[in-house]
């Protein structure tokens, strides 16, 4: 507790935190630490002997780095001298600040870096010194590993990526004694923040069954079907891999051509139907589209042998047949997201080979890669050693754990998606803030072993999809250069999963009329950007030069959401107006209400 003492003038003076209370909370924290250690050992101790010494094959990459560094000692010495000079400048400016002089920082964090937003990082000379010395060291480490010549390209990327992971982990903001905000919270709460933080850590270990699954949001604040994925509709078809949802219309008349939405199966479909105010699905319905969406199953060991062929046959092709039964329409339009777009492109090439191309009138691709030659930082995880390790693990259960895939994506933005929550949840002891997008991000899905191995090897490792006829799906060689279906291709400028310059490559492959649009922000926020928010912007350019940089140079910036632009494009292929279609009034009767049961399976 906080105590008060009487001064001679009769006023009260508050003293520092009660030492007994602080000691009590520190004892609780120690007890919690002991529980966490026991939990970890009991759940994971038996598996330690089965883990390869270097499962990601990082050691070989860094050995190559050090060998090349030693071959050029002059450059290595120059780097050391440069760092020493930076430190000397920092010591000089820090000394002058201690003497009361104003000094410009030697180095400042990026304006988007949220780790050092607390005022103490600027106002306190000690913490400012800690911050700047860290930033100087981080810059030196990153430049030291990126400037080495003669490295294998894949190893160079791996070294750069894991060096940044180490640099991010070592930030002074991640530790109790070097984070002023955490120190202040510890003193003010008499250590209760640490007790609560350790309780959060125990709960996350329990939720992950021994593996740390950091809570990014208040899990109790959301429920699928209650305040997420709430757009009214019916499941009208299902098989082993999908449930097909048909949504209730909100207009008396609708466009004749139905729209099938094909999301990625790496995550759940409701990223496109979060809440009413940011639902892509609901907005499309309000524009007069008859909307269907695929809800992929969250596979278990029984589906481990499902192949990429199955995902096409039982996914989009089965959905097309079901839509024809439900509406009488043989031709549809498609909107596909991320990996769902990759599958859509393959399906279209397959349909063209079968002379069935008229079944799809138009396609909207959202952040979709088909050329994986420049796959961004995800390529760091794709080499023979890592694929073999992943396949060995998948063979034990028949699938890849969803948490492993989620951690891979989170590592791409470690400061935002890992360390910020470590500080907030475990050091500050705060409850995670309720956020629908982060709830979805944590709602991970499994990957069937056969399909996932095929996808990683043939797309990421071998880049077979852009080699005409090299990839066979359901017995048919697919060639994306035969696809003449009109395409609207949306990419996002800060996408760390499907880099926009890589997605732009599809404009040079498809043979049909193509519109390329680049939205601001990233893989999720750039897509889920409703017009009502009047947020971000997008760029358009009717010309499609070979170079993405040339496209952007002459592109026009447009304020607001890309949704209306896309809808205007879709109208060209939407057909005349017809009476609104009610789910269940066609040949297919409802199985259950949306969002269905497949999406509710938790791993």
Angle between helices 58-70 and 73-98 (to 10 degrees): 90
DSSP-derived secondary structure for 11-70? -EEEEEE-HHHHHHHHHHHHHHHHHHHHHHHHHHGGGGGGS-SSTT-HHHHHHHHHHHHH
- Distance (Å, rounded) from C-alpha 160 to C-alpha 51? 24
Q: How far separated are the first and last CA of the chain, in Å rounded? A: 43
C-alpha 31: how far from its chain's center? 35
- Distance (Å, rounded) from C-alpha 164 to C-alpha 158? 10
- Beta-bridge partners for 490: 366, 517
Nearest residue to 462 via CA among 367, 548, 379, 395 = 379
- Given a contact cutoff of 8 angstroms between Cβ atoms, the answer to whether 366 and 497 are in contact is no
33 as an active site residue: the answer is: no
Nearest residue to 257 via CA among 230, 299, 289, 305 = 289
- Beta-bridge partners for 366: 337, 490
The token duo for 477 is 């060689």
Residue 515 is classified by DSSP as E
Q: List alpha helices for 225-377, DSSP H.
A: 280-286, 308-312, 318-327, 339-353
- Beta-bridge partners for 120: none
- Distance (Å, rounded) from C-alpha 490 to C-alpha 272? 15
Q: Which residues contact 277 (CB under 8 A, 6 or more apart)?
A: 530, 532
Nearest residue to 224 via CA among 180, 164, 268, 188 = 268
What count of Cα atoms within 13 Å lies in the side-chain half-sphere of residue 381?
Answer: 15
- Distance (Å, rounded) from C-alpha 456 to C-alpha 223? 32
- Distance (Å, rounded) from C-alpha 142 to C-alpha 288? 51
The token duo for 396 is 């034990």
Residue 458 is classified by DSSP as I
Q: Which of 33, 338, 537, 566 is catalytic?
A: 338
The token duo for 562 is 């890309």
- Beta-bridge partners for 531: none
278-289 core/surface letters (b: 16 or more CB in 10 A; e: else)? bbbbbbbbebbb
C-alpha 424: how far from its chain's center? 20
Q: 595: cis peptide before it, omega within 30°?
A: yes
Catalytic residues: 338
């Amino acid at each position: 507790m906080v105590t008060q003492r009487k001064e001679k003038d009769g006023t009260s003076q508050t003293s520092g935190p009660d030492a007994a209370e602080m000691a009590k909370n520190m004892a609780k924290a120690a007890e919690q630490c002991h529980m966490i250690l026991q939990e970890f050992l009991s759940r994971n101790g038996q598996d330690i002997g089965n883990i390869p010494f270097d499962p990601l094959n990082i050691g070989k990459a860094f050995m190559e780095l050090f060998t090349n560094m030693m071959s050029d000692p002059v450059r290595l010495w120059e780097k050391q001298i440069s760092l020493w000079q930076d430190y000397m400048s920092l010591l000089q400016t820090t000394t002058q600040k201690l003497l009361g002089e104003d000094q410009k920082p030697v180095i400042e964090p990026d304006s988007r870096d949220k780790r050092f937003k607390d005022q103490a990082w600027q106002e306190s000379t000690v913490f400012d010194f800690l911050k700047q010395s860290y930033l100087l060291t981080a810059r030196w480490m990153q430049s030291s590993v990126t400037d080495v010549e003669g490295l294998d390209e894949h190893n160079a990327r791996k070294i750069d990526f894991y060096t940044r992971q180490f640099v991010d982990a070592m930030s002074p903001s991640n530790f109790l004694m070097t984070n002023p905000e955490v120190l202040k919270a510890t003193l003010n709460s008499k250590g209760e923040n640490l007790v609560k933080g350790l309780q959060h850590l125990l709960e996350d270990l329990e939720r992950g069954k021994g593996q740390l699954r950091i809570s990014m949001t208040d899990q109790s604040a959301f429920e699928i079907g209650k305040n997420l994925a709430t757009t009214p509709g019916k499941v009208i078809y299902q098989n082993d891999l999908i449930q097909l949802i048909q949504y209730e219309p909100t207009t008396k008349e609708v466009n004749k051509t139905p729209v099938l939405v094909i999301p990625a199966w790496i995550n759940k479909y409701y990223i496109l139907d979060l809440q009413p105010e940011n639902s892509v699905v609901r907005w499309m319905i309000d524009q007069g589209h008859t909307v269907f969406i695929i809800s992929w199953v969250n596979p278990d060991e029984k589906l481990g042998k499902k192949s990429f062929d199955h995902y096409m046959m039982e996914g989009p092709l089965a959905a097309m047949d079901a839509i024809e039964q439900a509406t009488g329409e043989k031709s549809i339009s498609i909107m596909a997201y991320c990996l769902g777009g990759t599958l859509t492109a393959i399906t279209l090439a397959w349909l063209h080979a079968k002379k069935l191309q008229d079944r799809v009138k138009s396609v909207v691709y959202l952040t979709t890669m088909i050329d994986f030659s420049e796959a961004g930082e995800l390529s760091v995880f794709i080499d023979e050693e890592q694929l073999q390790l992943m396949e060995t693990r998948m063979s034990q259960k028949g699938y890849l754990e969803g948490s492993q895939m989620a951690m891979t994506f989170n590592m791409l933005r470690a400061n935002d998606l890992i360390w910020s929550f470590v500080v907030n949840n475990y050091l500050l002891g705060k409850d995670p803030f309720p956020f629908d997008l982060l709830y979805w991000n944590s709602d991970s899905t499994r990957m069937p072993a056969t399909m996932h191995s095929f996808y990683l090897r043939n797309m990421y490792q071998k880049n077979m999809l852009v080699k005409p006829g090299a990839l066979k799906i359901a017995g048919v060689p697919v060639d994306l250069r035969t696809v003449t279906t009109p395409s609207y291709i949306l990419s996002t400028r800060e996408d760390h999963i499907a880099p926009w310059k890589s997605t732009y490559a599809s404009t040079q492959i498809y043979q049909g009329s193509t519109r390329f649009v680049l939205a601001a922000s990233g893989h999720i926020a750039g897509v889920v950007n409703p017009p009502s928010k009047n947020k971000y912007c997008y760029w358009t350019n009717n010309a499609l030069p070979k170079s993405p940089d040339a496209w952007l140079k002459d592109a026009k910036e447009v304020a607001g959401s890309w949704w209306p632009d896309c809808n205007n494009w879709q109208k060209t292929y939407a057909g005349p107006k017809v009476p609104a279609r009610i789910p269940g009034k066609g040949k297919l009767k409802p199985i259950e209400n949306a969002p269905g049961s497949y999406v509710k399976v938790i791993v």
